[in-house]
Amino acid sequence: MPATRAQLAAARSKGHTLVLAGPGTGKTTTLIERCRTLVRAGVPLDAMFVSTFTAKAATEIRERLKASLATTTDGVVDKDEILKNAHIGTFHSLCARLLKRFPTDVGLPYDFEIIGDEDQRQLLYDLEIQWDEEDGNYVDMISRWKDRARTPEQAMEEARELGDKFTVGAAKAYARYEEARRETAAVDFSDLITLSTQILKSGGKGQKWFHGNFSHFVIDEFQDTNRTQIDFLRAALGPYGQIWAVGDENQSLYEWRGSSPSYCLNFGKIFPGATIHELNEGFRCSPQIVKMSSRVISRNRSRYDKAMKPARKSRKGEFVLFKGFLTHDAEADWIAKQLAKFQANGGKLENAAVLFRTATVANTLQRRLERERVPFRLTGTGSFWSLPEVSLYVTAVASVAGDKRFDTRKGFGRTKAGFKCRSLAEELHGETARVISEPLARVLYEHRPRSLDQERRSSWMASVEAVSNLLLDFDDLGGFLDYVTQRTEEEGKRDGDCVTLSTLHSAKGLEWDMVFVAGCESELLPHFKSTNVEEERRLFYVGMTRARHQLLMTYARLRNDKDKKPSPFLQEAKLPEGENPGVFKWSDPENGKGRDHEEAPDKKSGSSSRKDESTSATRRRKSYRNRGGRSLIPPEEYGKG
C-alpha cells in the first residue's frame, strides 16, 4: 500500500521531528519513506544513524529498505551492496561499533571486553559478593541504576532512603563492581551508551570523526528511550545533526528501566525547534477495537491530546468479547478449547495469540493447551516446566528414580527449597510415585522463598499441586519423566503452526488476527505492585491493539483461591449504549452468564503410560475439600505467607 498524505508529510519534514504514530498507523512504512527521502536528497546511507529497539526490528527495516531502494534505482542493482555501509541497529550495537573504533578516547585499551549478564554475575562472584537469589538479583539492580544514569553514590542514597537491607547490599556491590570492571577493562551493555556519549563530548578523534560522518539520526520506538540514550542523542547531534524520531507516548511501557512518556511530551524542549507530526489513522484494528482502546487511553494525563480513528469499516466476523469465569481453571479450559476448535475448523494458530500481564497467568494456560494438543510458543515468559518449583519437583523425582537424563547434581540449585528437596530425594530413593508425591509437595510448600509476593506465592503452591497431581497419573516414575522429557523437547522444536503465548510487554510491536488477553483482573491489570496506574493502562491499551479482528479479554472471579474483581480498565473501555460501531458482548458468571463454559476438563490421555484421572485420584494419599474441588494443600495453608 502506498504511503498516505500524513505519512509522506511526516517523512519529508525538515529539521528535528517527532512523529506520533498510534498502533497500526504505518510507523515502519513512514520510517522507510524517511530514509528514501534522505537518499533522494543526496544524503549517503552511511551518514544516517538508524536506531531500532530490537535486533529483529533492525533486520526488518534493513530488508524493507533494501527492497525499497532497489526498486527506485536505475539499471542493474546489487541488493547486498545497497546497505553495506549503513548504520542500522540497536543503540547498543551502534555504540559498540563506535567504542571499538575509538576506545582510547575514554581510556580503554583496544582489547577491552564487552560483558553480558552472566559475565557480570561471575565478576561479582569473583569479588566474593553473594546474595540470596530468593530476594532479588544484584546484576539486574545494578543495570537499572546505570540505565537511569545513577552513580554508586546516588544508588546508595536511594537504598538508604528505602531502608531495605537487600537494596543497600546491592548498592555496596555496585561500587565494588564498578571498580573491578574498570580494572579489568570490561564494558557492560549500559556502559556502551555512557562511554559512547563520553567519546562524543571528549573533543578527541572519535568526536570529530562521528560529527564529520553522521548528519541524520532516525530513531524508532522513541518512547522506549531512557535517560542515558537521550544524553547520547543530544551529544551525537553536534552543531549540525538532525533527529527524526517516531514513537507513541501511549505505548511507553518501560519505566522500570528508565523510559518515560515525558521524553515524547518534552521533545521540543530536548531538541529545540522540533516539529510534531501525528499519524492517527489506524489500518490494523477493527473500528470497535479502535474506539474502545481510544476510550481507555484517554483517561491518562501524560499524553498528547490526540484521537485515533479507524481507516476502514467493520468486517464480518469481527468482535470484542469481555468474558468472566468462576475460576482461573475454567478460564484456561475455555481459551484452550476455543483455540482447539479454531484449529479444527482450519484456522492457522500462527494468526492467534494469548497475552497476559504476568507469567503466573500462563502456567495454567500451558497445561490446558498441552491437554488439548494445541501447540504453542512462548515469548517473554518461561515454560511451566522451567518454573523453579516445578523444576525442583521434577529433579527430585529424577533423583529418586536414578534417571540420568536429568542433572540431579546442579538441578537443585542453591536455595533452601532445593537443599531440602535433595535431602528428601536421597531419603526416598527407589520409592514409588504414591509414596513420594505428597512429601515432595509438602517440602516445597513449607520452604517456598520468603520474598514471594501474594500473587507469586499462590502461583507457587498451585504449580506444585499441579505437578504433584500429574505425577500420580502415571504408573511409574519413568513414565512421568518420559512425559516431562517429551514436553520439554517439543517446546524446543516448535517452529511450525503454533499459537503465541506472550507477556503484554513482549507483544508490543506485534499483531494477530485473534487475540486473547487473559487475567484481566483488578490486581493483575493494574498490577498490585505497580505505583504507576497510567503505565498499567498503557499496557492494557497495547494488549487491546494487538488484535486485528477478534479481541477476547477474559478474567476469573477466583484465581488461586483468591476472590478477584474484573479490571477497572474493562469498564473504562466500554462504550456508551448505541456507540458501538461493531459487535461487543460482556459475559459475566455472577450475572448468570457464561456458566455453560464451566464444563469439566477433557480427560484425554497425554501419554500411553498415563492413567485415567478418575482412577488416579483415588490413589492420592491425602487430599482436602476446597470450594467444591479437591486439593493437596490443607485449607489453613491458603493465604499464608
The rounded radius of gyration (Å) of the Cα atoms in the chain is 27
> What letter does residue 385 receive in the DSSP assignment?
G
DSSP 587-599: E-GGGT-SGGG-P
Query: Per the annotation, does 375 bind a ligand?
Result: no
By the 10 Å C-beta count (0-12 exposed, 13-18 middle, 19+ buried), 101 is classed as: middle
Task: Kindly provide the b/e burial profile for residues 524-549, where b requires at least 16 CB atoms within 10 angstroms of the residue's own CB.
Answer: bbbbeeeeeebbbbbbbbbbbbbbbb
Contact 416, 447 (CB under 8 A): yes
d(CA 487, CA 52): 35
Contact 526, 295 (CB under 8 A): no
For 313, list phi and psi in degrees, rounded to 5. Answer: -90, 165
Query: Per the annotation, does 23 bind a ligand?
Result: yes
User: Cis (ω within 30 of 0) for the bond into 388?
Assistant: no
Query: Per the annotation, does 379 bind a ligand?
Result: no
* Residues 6 or more apart whose Cβ sits within 8 Å of residue 269: none
d(CA 191, CA 115): 10
For 334, list phi and psi in degrees, rounded to 5. Answer: -65, -45
d(CA 439, CA 91): 50
Provide the grid cell at 82. Answer: 545497497
DSSP 207-276: HHHHHHH--EEEESSGGG--HHHHHHHHHHHTTT-EEEEEE-GGG---GGGT--THHHHTHHHHSTT-EE
Chain CA centroid to CA 443, Å: 31
By the 10 Å C-beta count (0-12 exposed, 13-18 middle, 19+ buried), 466 is classed as: buried
DSSP 438-497: HHHHHHHHHT--TT--HHHHHHHHHHHHHHHHHHTTBSSHHHHHHHHHHHHHHHHH--SS
d(CA 418, CA 144): 29
d(CA 332, CA 291): 28
Query: Per the annotation, does 10 bind a ligand?
Result: no
Nearest-10 crossing angle of helices 388-401, 477-493: 130
Query: Per the annotation, does 26 bind a ligand?
Result: yes
Q: Would you say how long the chain is, in residues?
A: 641
- For 91, the 3-state DSSP assignment is helix
* CA-closest candidate to residue 420, choices 464, 477, 383, 474: 464
> What letter does residue 136 receive in the DSSP assignment?
-
d(CA 286, CA 266): 31
CA–CA–CA angle 308, 311, 313 (5° rounding): 115
Query: Per the annotation, does 272 bind a ligand?
Result: no
> What letter does residue 54 receive in the DSSP assignment?
S
- For 177, the 3-state DSSP assignment is helix
d(CA 356, CA 543): 8
User: Residues at the annotated binding site?
Assistant: 21-28
Which residues belong to the annotated binding site for ATP?
21-28
